[in-house]
Structure 1
Amino acid sequence: MPVETFVVGALESALHAGEIVEAVHVPARSASAHWGYAKSCRKTGEFAHAIGAVLIDPAAASARIVIGAIDTTPIVITDAAELFGGRIAADYKQRFDVRVADALLAKAGIDDAAQRHIHVSVLKRAVQEAAA
């Protein structure tokens, strides 16, 4: 029976002793789906200080966003329309709202404004990569 396993932190999963991942299912995406990934680290090979990953499908008006390399479980946003002015369309790159992203990170408990700025900048780069 398939079991979903979630990342709970850096190098940490919800797997218990004796459990093993048997398969990974990645659903097929439509031709209109775009994705982008960006990270920030000081030196090559170093653990990232901020990670942003986006999967955006303007034709389906959907987006999934992950913000990682934070002091807690990665933030997964399955309904990301708010980050794009309330709707996801072909102009999503121009509609990405850094203020909404900053507020989302603050709500998640990231108090340091400089850290939030780094995460928002990396997320913006991931969105721009998806639109490229």
Structure 2
Amino acid sequence: RVFGRFFALFNRVFTRASDNYGKGVSRVISHKASAMGVYAALLGLTVGISYIVPGGFVPAQDKQYLISFAQLPNGASLDRTEAVIRKMSDTALKQPGVESAVAFPGLSINGFTNSSSAGIVFVTLKPFDERKA
């Protein structure tokens, strides 16, 4: 009975919220010009604020590392994954701005769990002034 009261109250509140949402959507649809005006104003405000907000919130340059990962089909052997990850690491090391690469075959990017069909390569870049554009 306690849960019955709870769910009855929940259903009443949910129905009221759903009805109000439907009415709000109907009002917006029936006043298309006003809705587009509000949308345009919000878009303009967003663009305006982007000029006002200091650039300190956006990093001036990269953080000198990259993370790359491979997800092979489920059931792929660790040997197969290791070959792919080694190739990724070797390819990264051939790039002129790369300082080092550390590979982890068998490590999934999803929660850093063990998986024979996944692998991660952490690539460290040379300092920004030593790299070409």
Q: Is the radius of gyration larger for structure 1 or structure 2?
A: 2
TM-score by length of 2: 0.25
Q: Which has the higher contact order (CA 8 A, sep 6+)?
A: 1
TM-score by length of 1: 0.25
Which is helix-richer, 1 or 2? 2
